[in-house]
Chain A
């Protein structure tokens, strides 16, 4: 058996169910990796060693007594530090809430606990899941950004600190760090997963997502966390997904129809990224995918601007009261957004909401019945220098439109940095998106391995 901390959820779950691995052994191995690497990578805000080990002991007992709850039972999870956890510090990686301890769990945390998952602790986010770089280090190269805002979660999964960690995406905060760190990232359709109890950046943009080491694990998480929640006004009245089942019973002869995003949008990618997309599409075609190019509607030319206007306006209102009292305690980028957001005219905010609605409608029509999913570069380039969190330009359109998007790693470039691609599907076709992603993952058969973390 491989070292437990290197296993995927699916692998660990099978071994736990068969009695070959105990949740305590798995959690202890993850804690060992954290202890070894955390001083170099700074991926965690809070690590709950005793709580995690105790929960693992309880899970092990339940499982050995025949009470297996599902594939997450006994699986350790990292939570981005904007997810409220009853009795556990939730700081938003900020000075303002440095010692905040919620009295209740976020809906997503409730669901994870009900599924038997083990909460290892809280991962580092950029302050308030906004644009100021976090202290987290990219494990592939310490001179490159790990991305943001879900930087700690992506790094933790990449190096084997946990097989899954949660994130959130307001522009590109799940799939961009996933791409920079070489892991799978899923941002489901807006409305699929309740955000109740997760500290907001922007109420109408925020979408919860997660990082895993394979697509099937992302499906397991979606099945556990999706479903209607009246406590979140953005929650869609839809039943939970059955994505894992849909993957496991896929017709082995099935091949996807894929639209490759072309035009000015894709032209923002650098040559290396374009070459990677070309290689990937050739491989998919060789394996039987039906591929065509698709030009995005003109509304895409303003969609990232719409995202910025909505993000800044809502961010300003989220933080307005606290900013009035403690402006100097906010990090520079988020403070600027709060202050500039208060200046944006209402008419611009409404135009931004109009454009996103138009873009969503036009994208639904463009994908229509012609494609199972679109294929695009994950990011304009590999991870840049750590002075920024990188560009969200390739994720923000799908976030703003509320469409589901999936990042999968495809290879390491000659400098040893991960490259990836993303798939995008119509709203609420998350299961179809995962089928395409799983098929591509199998076709490409990529294994980036675990990064060798250099000494500081």
Chain B
């Protein structure tokens, strides 16, 4: 239950921030027109914010190793 509340709060916060940024950049009218896309993005940002990451969680592909096979990725975690 508390996890759901946390997600709901994160979604609302994320939406309000993204909506404000949209209004500043694209204006009130256009923000209304992109509402459904705004919701998808803000929900996604909220969901991601609930995952715990630390310094060992390197980003994937272009920001880290890409085109790498399983053996290499396992080695990366071997020092933990």
- Residues of A at the B interface (CB closer than 8 Å) are 190-191, 203-204, 233-238, 299, 301-302, 304-306, 308-309, 312, 333, 336-337, 339-345, 348, 350-358, 360-361, 364-365, 402, 426-428
- Write 10 A-B pairs (CB below 8 A) sorted by A numbering: A236-B68, A302-B47, A312-B37, A337-B37, A339-B34, A340-B40, A345-B45, A356-B60, A357-B61, A427-B68
Query: Is there a chain A Cβ closer than 8 Å to B57's Cβ?
Result: yes
**Chain A interface mostly:** helix
In Å, the complex CA distance between A302 and B40 comes to 13
CB distance from A358 to the nearest CB of B (A): 6
- Residues of B at the A interface (CB closer than 8 Å) are 18, 21-22, 25-26, 30, 33-34, 36-38, 40-41, 43-45, 47-51, 53, 57-64, 66-70, 73-74, 77
Contact yes or no, B57 A339, CB < 8 A: no
Q: In the complex, what residue of chain A is closest to B18 when comparing beta carbons?
A: A343
Please give me the 3 A-B residue pairs with the lowest Cβ-Cβ distance, nearest first.
Answer: A236-B67, A353-B59, A357-B60
In Å, the complex CA distance between A351 and B10 comes to 15
Contact yes or no, A302 B51, CB < 8 A: yes
CB distance from B64 to the nearest CB of A (A): 6
Contact yes or no, A309 B45, CB < 8 A: yes
CB distance from B33 to the nearest CB of A (A): 7
CB distance from B7 to the nearest CB of A (A): 10
Q: B26 contacts which of A339, A361, A364 (Cβ < 8 Å)?
A: A339
| Residues of B with C-beta under 8 A to A358 | 57
| Residues of B with C-beta under 8 A to A312 | 37, 41
CB distance from A393 to the nearest CB of B (A): 12
Contact yes or no, A354 B67, CB < 8 A: no
| Residues of B with C-beta under 8 A to A365 | 70, 74
Q: In the complex, what residue of chain A is closest to B44 when comparing beta carbons?
A: A305
In Å, the complex CA distance between A345 and B53 comes to 17
Q: A361 contacts which of B33, B38, B77 (Cβ < 8 Å)?
A: B77
Contact yes or no, A340 B58, CB < 8 A: no
In Å, the complex CA distance between A360 and B40 comes to 23
In Å, the complex CA distance between A337 and B37 comes to 7
Whether A306 contacts B70 in the complex (CB less than 8 A), given A233-B62, A344-B41, A354-B60, comes out as no
CB distance from A196 to the nearest CB of B (A): 14
Q: In the complex, what residue of chain A is closest to B45 when comparing beta carbons?
A: A348
CB distance from A403 to the nearest CB of B (A): 10
Q: In the complex, what residue of chain A is closest to B77 when comparing beta carbons?
A: A361
In Å, the complex CA distance between A350 and B63 comes to 8
| Residues of A with C-beta under 8 A to B73 | 357, 360-361, 364
CB distance from B72 to the nearest CB of A (A): 10
In Å, the complex CA distance between A351 and B51 comes to 8
| Residues of A with C-beta under 8 A to B44 | 304-306, 308-309, 348, 352
| Residues of A with C-beta under 8 A to B57 | 354, 357-358
